[in-house]
Structure formats: C-alpha cells, structure tokens
Chains A and B, each alone.
Chain A
C-alpha cells in the first residue's frame, strides 16, 4: 500500500474529491448518462418496463411532495448506519486482536473464513425465526455484512506492518501493550478505514435484503414492494436513491478521512 502524501502546494480536493476544473467533466458525465438512459428507454422499451428519466423524475417529485420518499430514505439510512457502525465497532478491535495475537487468530480464523462466504441473504429466514421481524433482524443482517469486510481488512493491515516498526518501538522502550497502542493501532488505521469504506458499499447493497424482512418502509422495501405492482418507476427511484445516497455517504466519509486522518496514509 502506498502512503499518500500530497506534495506541498498542490490543490486539496474539496468535498467531492475533485480538483478545480474536474467538476465540469464530472457533471458532463452524469448528464451524458441521463441522455443515454433516455435514449435507450424510449427507443427500445415500453415505459412500464424501463421508465424514462422524465417519468422517474416526475414520480420522484410526487413522492417528495407526499414526504413518502423521505420516510423511506430516513429509515434505510438509519438501518444502514446503525449496522455499519456497530459492525465496524465489533470488527475493528476483533481484527486487531486476531492480527496481533496468534492464538486468537487460530481460534477465530475458521469462523471468519467460513462465514465470509455465506451471504447475508442466506440468513434471512433463520434471523427472522430467532429475532423476529423487527428492527433487530434488519440491523443484524447489515452488521453481519459489515463485520467480515472490516475484520479481514484490519487483519491484513496488522500483517502489513513493517516488522522494523515494531522492532524500533521495542528498542525505544515500548512494552508490547504500548507498541500495540502506539504502533499497531495507528499503522492499521488506514486499512480499517478502507475496510469501512468497502463495507459501507455492502451495507447499502444489503439494506435491500434486510428490508425483505417484513418491512413497511425503507428503500429496499420500496423496491421490493413496487415489484408487486409493476411500479418500475418507483423501483428506479429506489435504485437512484440508493446509489446517490451511497455516493454522498462515501464522499462524506472520505472527506472526514482526508480531513482528520490524512497522516495515517489512507487510500483516498
């Protein structure tokens, strides 16, 4: 992993992560995609099968006016963020311990390697049977998804620490506990943050699965429920909102990393 240090005097990216002049290109790219969407949907499909951007926009405006959309966004975001932070909060310390202490790694490695291949959607039924159809089940599904990504990234981070760093710390008088706090932890931080960014993406993907559990609100519910009514325009609203929210959350997370954790050498 390279340690990104910006040379003195070069432009610092803004909240969108772009240098001046790139914004125009960025906007042009988005506009181009909308034009393409319009062209393909109106040329090859009936509006029920693939609604045009205009139809989706109009439906979206109606849902904004009735405040229905905000309800879906709010509840999904709450589930995603709760699951994401609880999952990261479990996985990062666990990954640090597993990476640093061989015995802990040997004990927990089989489970990590086993369950990371079992997608969260496979757990839907057992989770409902065990925890009911409330918020707990939905959040658990997202915690599950987050945990393994952050855990494995953290472990990789620990194993990537140059042995010379720990040796230098030992020579400078660091006890194993102090070396863990002052070397292992900060050296692993960029990997934890990268794992969290990846996991954030998965949390957005998983909210759809989580909201298949008897939900009556949320973007996943919106998408899943609209299927029954053949309301493709609403499905597209759900898709666009998930993507846009994910993008914004990631940008914000990245901004926080650059703002507060740059010296740890995160991947930007």
Chain B
C-alpha cells in the first residue's frame, strides 16, 4: 500500500459492554491509505459500517484494535485537523447567524471578532452564500444549510474533510448543484476529502478513487477503483455509464456472495 496521509491499518471495531463484544464486529481488517490532496469516496450499502469508519477517523469512536493516523500522528479523539460535515443539519448552531456559525472555529481559537467575521464572510462567499450572512439556519433551505456546514469546516482550515453523506437528505437538484460546487471547492482548496456515500453516481462524479466496502459484519474495503475520467465529469458521458455498470456489478456480486454463506 502506498504511503498515505490518512491511514487505517488493520482496524477493527465492535460495540462493547463492560469490556465484552456484544455483537459481531462492525469492521475488521479495515485498511485504507489516502494520499494528501485526494478526493476519496467510501461507497457501500447502508448499514455496512461506512459511518463507523468516519466516526473512527473523526475520533468520536476508538477502534477495538488497529491503528489510525493522520499525517503520521495517531488519531486520539476529535481534533481541529479533521473536520466533519454531517448528513444532518442538526449539527448547525441554530441560535447563531450563518456568519457566526462559520466563525465558530476561529472563535474557539481565540481570533478577534473582526478577524473571524472576515474569515467567515470569505468562506461563505466560497460556498456562494453571499447575502445570507445574517440569516439563522432556520431561515435557510436544506442546500444552503449544507453550504454553511461546508463553509464552517473550511473556515477552520483542517487537514482533511470527513463528509458523511452530506447531500443525502437533499432534493435531486440541490444535490447535483452541491456536488458540482464541491468539486469546484476541492479544486480551489486542494483539501484531502474522505466522502461517504451509498450513491454510485455521486462517487463516480466526485472521487479520484472509490473504495467499495464489503457487506458487514466485519466490513472492510473490498476493492478500490480509480476513476480516471477527466473533470469536470458529465453524468451522461459514456465513461461514466461504464464505470457505473462496473461498480454496480461489484456491489451486486458482493451481495450474492454474502447471501450464499
């Protein structure tokens, strides 16, 4: 495996009660290495443990065994080097205007009000939310709220973005727009991104590489596929369709294999 920026080595995770495993492990022998600057999509059926992977990377959960490192430093708890964009907008601070939501990270690191607002406004512009600075999350559409989440993590200048199906709850049009904009933002910022999705088309549209997860329990990455389609990618192009067929067959085979056991 190539040297990575974000690395998981032989990670397993199972829920425990009083030191004993209460169910078969969610993940076992999970290996992953993402180089700096890569857009990596973790693809798998719902319930396979994708979100568990993200929670481990974010430091919300600790692995039962194995090691997780970012930039050669072990991950032990949440940190500002790893920012999470959640699927649900309930992570936004509803009592703060969008500018103050985005300024939250800079505020935690002790920047002055003027300085952090300048940073927040700049990042709201980056996600095309100029003019919405003074609105509260409750006054924004679902797509806008996810933009605020993205701006909020970027304003904190993390080493990696961990995104947990961030567009999963949006309507098709907003999702398409945000996918395109995310690629654009990634192009500008060159942040490393670990993006979790169960949508094959979304993974192909976004990723440099796609890790297809096996079905749980004991899930891990079954196959990694490099997406060498040129950007900007078009959803209707021939290469896109081929790739979709290939990954779809892979996931289906995975399902059958599992069912025969």
Size of interface on B: residues with Cβ below 8 Å to A: 31
Alpha-carbon distance between A8 and B132 when the two chains are bound, in angstroms: 13
Q: Do A173 and B90 form a contact, CB below 8 Å, given A3-B138, A5-B139, A167-B78?
A: no
- Residue A106 CB within 8 A of the other chain: no
- Residue A263 CB within 8 A of the other chain: yes
Alpha-carbon distance between A165 and B79 when the two chains are bound, in angstroms: 15
- Residues of chain A within 8 A (CB-CB) of B95 are 186-187, 189, 263-265
- Residue B93 CB within 8 A of the other chain: yes
Q: Are B88 and A165 closer than 8 Å at their CB atoms?
A: no
Q: Are A173 and B80 closer than 8 Å at their CB atoms?
A: yes
- Residue B15 CB within 8 A of the other chain: no
- Residue A174 CB within 8 A of the other chain: yes
Q: Are A172 and B139 closer than 8 Å at their CB atoms?
A: no
Q: Are B91 and A173 closer than 8 Å at their CB atoms?
A: no
Alpha-carbon distance between A164 and B82 when the two chains are bound, in angstroms: 15
- Residues of chain B within 8 A (CB-CB) of A182 are 93, 104, 107-108
Q: Are A165 and B91 closer than 8 Å at their CB atoms?
A: yes
Q: Are A164 and B90 closer than 8 Å at their CB atoms?
A: yes
Q: Are A186 and B136 closer than 8 Å at their CB atoms?
A: no
Residue on B nearest A167 in the bound complex, by CB: B60
Most buried by A among B88, B105, B108: B108
- Residues of chain A within 8 A (CB-CB) of B79 are 171
Task: Tell me the smallest distance from the CB of A259 to a CB of chain B, in Å.
Answer: 15
- Residues of chain B within 8 A (CB-CB) of A174 are 104, 108
B69-97 CB contacts (< 8 Å) to partner A: 77-80, 82-84, 86, 88, 90-97
- Residue B192 CB within 8 A of the other chain: no
Task: Tell me the smallest distance from the CB of B117 to a CB of chain A, in Å.
Answer: 16
- Residues of chain A within 8 A (CB-CB) of B153 are 171-172
- Residues of chain A within 8 A (CB-CB) of B60 are 167
- Residues of chain B within 8 A (CB-CB) of A169 are 104, 108
Alpha-carbon distance between A219 and B107 when the two chains are bound, in angstroms: 50
- Residue A178 CB within 8 A of the other chain: yes
- Residues of chain B within 8 A (CB-CB) of A263 are 94-97, 136
Alpha-carbon distance between A183 and B90 when the two chains are bound, in angstroms: 12
- Residue B58 CB within 8 A of the other chain: yes
Task: Tell me the smallest distance from the CB of B169 to a CB of chain A, in Å.
Answer: 13
Q: Are A5 and B138 closer than 8 Å at their CB atoms?
A: yes
Encode contact with B along A152-175: 1 for CB under 8 Å, 0 otherwise: 000000000010110111111110
Q: Do A164 and B88 form a contact, CB below 8 Å, given A183-B93, A187-B95?
A: yes
- Residue B152 CB within 8 A of the other chain: yes
- Residue B109 CB within 8 A of the other chain: yes
Encode contact with A along B171-207: 1 for CB under 8 Å, 0 otherwise: 0000000000000000000000000000000000000
- Residues of chain B within 8 A (CB-CB) of A265 are 94-95, 138
Q: Are A172 and B136 closer than 8 Å at their CB atoms?
A: no
- Residues of chain B within 8 A (CB-CB) of A172 are 80, 83, 104-105, 108, 152-153, 156
Task: Tell me the smallest distance from the CB of B80 to a CB of chain A, in Å.
Answer: 4
Q: Are A173 and B93 closer than 8 Å at their CB atoms?
A: no
Q: Are A165 and B84 closer than 8 Å at their CB atoms?
A: no
Q: Are B86 and A168 closer than 8 Å at their CB atoms?
A: yes
Residue on A nearest B140 in the bound complex, by CB: A5
Q: Do A162 and B83 form a contact, CB below 8 Å, given A172-B108, A182-B104?
A: no
Task: Tell me the smallest distance from the CB of A189 to a CB of chain B, in Å.
Answer: 7
Excluding A165-B91, A173-B80, A173-B108, 14 further A-B contacts by CB distance (< 8 Å) are A167-B91, A168-B86, A168-B92, A171-B83, A171-B156, A172-B104, A172-B105, A174-B104, A183-B93, A186-B95, A189-B95, A263-B96, A263-B136, A264-B94
Could you tell me which A residues sit within 8 Å of B by CB distance? 3, 5, 8, 162, 164-165, 167-174, 178, 182-183, 186-187, 189, 263-265
8 cross-chain pairs, A with B, having the tightest CB-CB distances, nearest first: A5-B138, A164-B91, A162-B90, A173-B108, A170-B78, A172-B105, A168-B91, A173-B80
Enumerate 6 A-B pairs (CB-CB under 8 Å) in ascending A order. A165-B92, A172-B80, A172-B152, A172-B153, A187-B95, A264-B95
